[in-house]
Amino acid sequence: MSRSRQGAARPPSANIAAGSSRSAARPGDSGFDAQVALALVGLGVVGHVLRSRRFYEKVAVAAIVLGALRGIGHDNRVSTLARLQAWDKREVQRLERKAKREVQGLKRKAKREIQRLERKAARKRPAPTRGTGPRRAAHPVTVVPEHD
């Protein structure tokens, strides 16, 4: 493998300006003058853009588009909120119907339980027979007033 470039074996030498202890400016180095030049070019471009009719047309179109998108977003929020309110109303009505059905079911269940307990109590209570009922006098008692 031979190297075809000239001076490929030599390390890169530093660019030193004659009579100076600093390295010479490289193409990538920006000094103050370069920064000022870039700022002036930027100002020139901004000035040119601000004088351009096409720039103002684009700004006007962008403003119209943003206004339209804002309106679309607002309409979307309004319709979404309306759908949500309608769903909530239906859900509340559904839950109210369900609660009403449960209350009716509990009433029926309570009524059946009362009937069952009454039947059970009637079965346990023996039929009144002679001598087992409340004690009564065999004949009415006559009260005789006392005489003094």
Average pLDDT value for residue range 32-42: 89
Using the predicted structure, report yes or no on whether residue 5 has a pLDDT greater than 90: no
Q: Cβ(10)–Cβ(18) under 8 Å?
A: no
Q: Residue 26's closest CA among 9, 12, 11?
A: 12
Would you state the pLDDT for residue 111? 96
The pLDDT confidence band at residue 131, using thresholds 50, 70 and 90, is: low
Average pLDDT, the chain: 81
Site of tokens 């370069």: 34
Q: Where are the alpha helices (DSSP H) in 27-129?
A: 32-51, 53-124
Q: pLDDT, tens digit, for every residue of 92-116? A: 999 999 999 999 999 999 999 999 9
Which two structure tokens, joined as six digits, stand for 107? 């009433």
Would you state the pLDDT for residue 45? 87
In the chain, where are the structural domains located? 33-124
Share of the chain above pLDDT 70, in %: 65
CA dist., res. 95 & res. 103, Å (int): 12
Average pLDDT value for residue range 111-125: 89
Q: Cβ(49)–Cβ(55) under 8 Å?
A: yes
